[in-house]
Structure 1
Amino acid sequence: MTVEQSLAFLVIGAMMAFFIWGRFRYDVIACSALMLAVAVGIVPYDHAFDGFSDDIVIIVGSALIVSAGVARSGIVDAAIQRFLPNISSVRAQLALLVITVTVLSAFIKNIGALAIMIPVAFQFARRSGVQPSVFLMPMAFGSLIGGLMTQVGTSPNIVVSRVRQELTGESFTMFDFIPVGATLAAVGVVFLLFAYRLVPQRTSQHVSVQAAIEITDYTSEAVVAAGSPVIGKSLSHLVKIGDGGAVVTAVFRRGLHVAPLPDIKLEAEDVLLLEGGPDALDRIVSQAKLKISGDRSPSSSEKAGAEIEAVEAVIGSGSPLVGMSAQRLALFNNHNVNLLAVSRQGERLKQRLGSIRLRAGDIVVLQGSRRELPSFLQDFGCLPLAQREILLGTIRKATLPLLVLAAAMGSTALGLVPIPIAFFAAALAMVIFRIIPLRDVYRSVDGPILVMLAALIPVSDSLRTTGGTDVIASWLGTVATGLPPAGALTLILLAAMAVTPFLNNAATVLVMAPIAASFATALGYRPEAFLMAVAIGAGCDFLTPIGHQCNTLVMGPGGYRFSDYPRLGLPLSIVIILVSVPALMLVWPLR
């Protein structure tokens, strides 16, 4: 082993150790590894930043924008609502959820596909009397499987295409992944529909979503407006309007707290904290002509006639809203979103609405434009609870994102333009046609992922240029001595599956793909099946909640424990291995 190879192993080994440790963010680790590789001389100065102009970064960034445009269109929500009344059995509901998420994940970001369908899962859970945990884990696994079907379905497929381009001069095309990917998706969905009972029915320990759905009482803040018929009337008179369905928990007058005694007389500009059910609160506010404190008109930047709506949402455990107040966040001024009400189980809130420090599991009523609310909910880790229809104004805006996506995929499938050009143009079209507001474009792009990819490309290339991949391939060849071709392919697939829970899946491919290709060459096999095996293994982490963000997303709402994932994930992983190896050998012959 040469000095350069030893240094390459040292840099990549240290990088993987820091990834597994998880103390620092993965983009910071990747950039640090790049600088270390440059410092020790295994990455030349003039190639240190080649990754930032690499096709991988362009494709992933553009695909994220296109994915966000399709997800925001609302057309999926509208289509799903047609099926809801006709589906009653748990298995039929699960079939609709898993199949929809799986198919969507082939064309848009899998976590986006999952997020679209989570509110529907809660509706089904409430209707069928089961816990959402029955649906959420199979949906998360379906989203991972669905991403295997197309080149843009998941970042490992994009990365492995680039590796093949470098090694053979020919990249995988958009739909080269379909024969094996669709087979795995079909088998995986069928398995999930019959094995879902392996998932325990749990309630959330951190964010009680099921309980949140049943919440009936909210705390809201209202002001006695000038001209209100209750001015000069007693507080008990106001409460009677709600027919016993609401109470006044606090009164603030000229900045001072006044005891909410039944006989106090109300004055103009009194601020009232009301607690009760939505219907009772609505009666009091409308009949007493009160003004909800947070109910303000949208800013002038909003288009005239923009539709305003209010949604219920649960604050997730990782939300940036946790520990913050609406006043401190300046929700209205900074995000054009009003906080209208808060509900917290088992606790009566007596602070002014804007001063309440929000907690994970709080149910909030937020008001904003139909265009902006979905992005706000996603960016701030809030999960919508109530059934809602979010369309971007017109049918043209609802269908246009699908047309843009179809044009991009069709043009690449026909070989008219390269994938980076097609998807960059599609992302630009999303902006030009105002499918995505300009200020949301950069929110749609996962910056840390792009930086990590750009930094890792030269680092992973150093393993190949120093001959390190050949050394590892030789070691693997010794291990694989005597194994049949299927055994060698299974070895690579298992290695990728074992590594990806601890690394980002794209990082797994960048490290493993060159090794797999060298391994195949050393055994006298063509590399395509081995590269595909790496992509499949990197995209199929069913064993942990930390290996993929889809698994992490459902952990809190589903109330899952770490040990719950292998209960369904281990048999699914075995099924994937048993099906994918012969499918790969059939579609991509080894010789």
Structure 2
Amino acid sequence: MTFDQASLLILLLAMLVLFSLERFRIEVVAITGLLAGYALHLYSAEQVFSGFASPVVVTVVEILLIVQVLARAQLFGQLADFFVRARFSNTAVIATLSGAAGFISIFMNDIGAFSIALPATLRVSAALAIPKRQLIMPISFAALLGGIVSLIGTPANMLVSNAWTEASGTGFRLFDFAYVGLPVATVGIVLTAWLAPRLFPNEIDEALSAERASPPRRWITERRIPAGSSLIGAHLSDLPDRFALQPHTLVRNDKFVFGTPEKLVVEADDLLLAEADDTVFNGLQTSGTLLPQRRAKAAIADLDSVEAVVMPESTLVGSRLHSLEVFSSRDVTVCALSMRSPRIEGRFADLQLSIGDILVLEGEQKAIADALEECECLPLASQPPSRMSASSWQPFVIFAAGVVATAFELVTPDIAFAGVVLALALLNYLNIRQAMADLNWPIIIMLGAMIPIGSAVATTGTAQVIAAALGSMVSLAEPTTGVALVLFLSMLLTPFVNNATVAIVMSPIAVAFAATGHQSPSAYLIAVAAGASLDFLTPFGHHNNTLAMGIGSYRFSDFLKAGAPLTVVSYGLTLLLIYLFWL
């Protein structure tokens, strides 16, 4: 093994670990890795930023711009209205909503499809009294499954096609992925719709309603101890048993009170940073035991309260609550926070936001709406959709024209969707300047930065070294064995890092693997594309699952219960279909 190969392997391993830890922003990790690769002479100066000119990155940007227009059309709102009027079983509602989410995911990225489907899904949940836990996870899984059907369904497919182009001179066509992806998506959506009502039943007994069958969401907030509160005189160690509160920080006269929970005693006018179910905080507030901090500018009766989730593209990711000028400038207060991170340090204002966190905002309705639009967070209130005009269908027709041009190979995807973006801008459906500011830039930067690193896996011979090492463990005489291994490795990686990174790292290895066995790389690359998107076991492998966990109040074990059977079925079916159509 050469120095270049060893250094590249160490660099890739370090980046995969940093991606999986989620302690640093993905674009920062990607740019750091890109510059480290240049410092190690893995590619030339001319190649450092070549990834940003890749047709893959250009097409992803175009699709994200188009999604912003299609999302405003509120097509899913009409579907929600239909369910409210009709009388279907929970399984039928889940299957239809999931099928619709999976269908639109064929033509746009996974997160875009999930974001479009989510508001209508929440509305259906509220109107039909279907527990959110029966709907949110299936929608997330369906968006992932739909993405494996077409070239533009997910960036991973475009990256795999790019690797095939470099290896053979011709990439995959728009629906080449459908031979495997469509049956897998169909079976997966049906299986998930059947499992969800059984794994997350309507009622746990006759006394509990469907909504309360799901575990209450845990909130973190900083509250004031008023005079006369029954908390006064209690030790912090007693709060979990006596009041169902998990204390984190005690503040007195604007200073931290240090000591062990057994020795710290609550006093009047203290501020307590604590974690509990929403029902606990509501009960303590009603009884005057634990009160919100006083607001100076508005009466409580004049204020609205809205829950909103931090989206992957949000400008709030990585920010601390005290630095959120987008809210403070509009007199909007962050009252409580439901966090994914177990690290709770300092005061409430010091908490750092990550993808999937849910905020409780208090302020005037218009101020909250403006702030959420600016910072790109998604409100979880289930508002009925506005009426669609006849012209609202024009963006879908224009987008369909771009899809047809790509499907019939009249032009390449980047050219076709550039035409769609231009048409939408000329017809005033798209303000390009504003839309560019609203793009999910961390994902775009990560893609552009990782492409040269992925190319180095092939040019340095690292892929051949890995393929030879794996080939010494399994026989490559039968291509099914090699494809099964590549699919397994891709599915093994994707719960820990994003699917685009899996595609970038695994594609050159798959090509080298095929060359070692003297076989066509196409089947191996299809396995990489499918495996990179079959991410159902954890809430942190894909942003859709991260959002679903927060919005649906799922536990980690819920993803294992629902995702394990889907993963096993998807693996076996994918392998069978690759054997039938690509080997």
Query: What TM-score bracket applies, with the shorter chain setting the length?
Result: 0.7 to 0.9
**Is this contact kept in 1: 2:475–2:481, CA < 8 A?**
no
Question: How big is the shift at 1:404?
Answer: 1.8
Deviates most, 505-514 or 5-14: 5-14
**Is this contact kept in 2: 1:251–1:273, CA < 8 A?**
no
Question: How big is the shift at 1:26?
Answer: 1.7
In structure 2, C-alpha distance between the alignment counterparts of 1:463 and 1:251, rounded to whole Å = 58
- Per the alignment, residue 167 of structure 1 pairs with 167
Is residue 2:379 matched to residue 1:383? yes
In structure 1, C-alpha distance between the alignment counterparts of 2:49 and 2:111, rounded to whole Å = 29
Question: How big is the shift at 1:51?
Answer: 1.0
Question: How big is the shift at 1:536?
Answer: 0.7
- Per the alignment, residue 516 of structure 1 pairs with 510
- Per the alignment, residue 289 of structure 1 pairs with none
Choose the corresponding residue for 2:215, options 188, 193, 203. Answer: 203
In structure 1, C-alpha distance between the alignment counterparts of 2:335 and 2:81, rounded to whole Å = 27
C-alpha spacing 1:204/1:143, structure 2 compared with 1 (3 Å): farther
In structure 2, C-alpha distance between the alignment counterparts of 1:429 and 1:574, rounded to whole Å = 43
Is residue 2:150 matched to residue 1:150? yes
Unaligned runs of 5+ in 2: 202-212, 221-276, 283-291, 338-347, 352-356
- Per the alignment, residue 506 of structure 1 pairs with 500
Aligned AA for 2:308?
Answer: I
In structure 1, C-alpha distance between the alignment counterparts of 2:151 and 2:113, rounded to whole Å = 16
In structure 2, C-alpha distance between the alignment counterparts of 1:189 and 1:251, rounded to whole Å = 48
SS at match of 2:379: strand
Aligned AA for 1:82?
Answer: F
Question: How big is the shift at 1:128?
Answer: 4.5
C-alpha spacing 1:538/1:328, structure 2 compared with 1 (3 Å): closer
Aligned AA for 1:315?
Answer: A
Aligned AA for 1:273?
Answer: A
Q: TM-score normalized by structure 2?
A: 0.75
Question: How big is the shift at 1:52?
Answer: 1.5
Aligned AA for 1:60?
Answer: V
Aligned AA for 1:577?
Answer: Y
C-alpha spacing 1:89/1:324, structure 2 compared with 1 (3 Å): farther
- Per the alignment, residue 244 of structure 2 pairs with none
Question: How big is the shift at 1:427?
Answer: 2.1
**Is this contact kept in 1: 2:64–2:112, CA < 8 A?**
no
Unaligned runs of 5+ in 1: 217-248, 258-270, 276-291, 295-310, 333-337, 346-355
- Runs (4 or more) in structure 1 with deviation over 6 Å come to 249-252, 324-328, 341-345, 356-359
**Is this contact kept in 1: 2:495–2:538, CA < 8 A?**
yes
In structure 2, C-alpha distance between the alignment counterparts of 1:17 and 1:28, rounded to whole Å = 14
Aligned AA for 2:112?
Answer: G
Note the alpha carbon deviations across 1:345-384, whole angstroms, 9 max, x for none.
9xxxxxxxxxx99995536576559xx9599459442423
Question: How big is the shift at 1:324?
Answer: 6.3
C-alpha spacing 1:567/1:85, structure 2 compared with 1 (3 Å): same
Note the alpha carbon deviations across 1:306-345, whole angstroms, 9 max, x for none.
xxxxx9741337884984699973666xxxxx97x99989
Is residue 2:299 matched to residue 1:273? yes
C-alpha spacing 1:361/1:526, structure 2 compared with 1 (3 Å): same
SS at match of 1:362: strand
- Per the alignment, residue 455 of structure 2 pairs with 461
**Is this contact kept in 1: 2:310–2:378, CA < 8 A?**
no
Aligned AA for 1:202?
Answer: S
C-alpha spacing 1:425/1:166, structure 2 compared with 1 (3 Å): same
Structure 1 residues 168-567: aligned runs within 5 Å:
168-196=168-196, 197-199=198-200, 201-206=213-218, 273=299, 275=301, 313-316=306-309, 320=316, 323=321, 329=327, 360=358, 362=360, 367-368=365-366, 376-377=372-373, 379-390=375-386, 394-396=389-391, 398-481=392-475, 484-567=478-561
C-alpha spacing 1:81/1:30, structure 2 compared with 1 (3 Å): same
Deviates most, 161-170 or 418-427: 418-427
Is residue 2:29 matched to residue 1:26? no
C-alpha spacing 1:273/1:2, structure 2 compared with 1 (3 Å): closer
Q: Considering only CA atoms, is the larger Rg found in Structure 1 or Structure 2?
A: 1
Q: How many residues align?
A: 486
Aligned AA for 1:52?
Answer: F
C-alpha spacing 1:488/1:199, structure 2 compared with 1 (3 Å): farther
In structure 2, C-alpha distance between the alignment counterparts of 1:4 and 1:472, rounded to whole Å = 14
SS at match of 2:148: helix
Q: TM-score normalized by structure 1?
A: 0.74
C-alpha spacing 1:388/1:479, structure 2 compared with 1 (3 Å): same
Question: How big is the shift at 1:21?
Answer: 3.1
- Per the alignment, residue 288 of structure 1 pairs with none
In structure 2, C-alpha distance between the alignment counterparts of 1:94 and 1:378, rounded to whole Å = 32
- Per the alignment, residue 100 of structure 1 pairs with 100
CA RMSD, 1 decimal: 3.6
Identity %: 29
Aligned AA for 2:214?
Answer: R
C-alpha spacing 1:435/1:546, structure 2 compared with 1 (3 Å): same
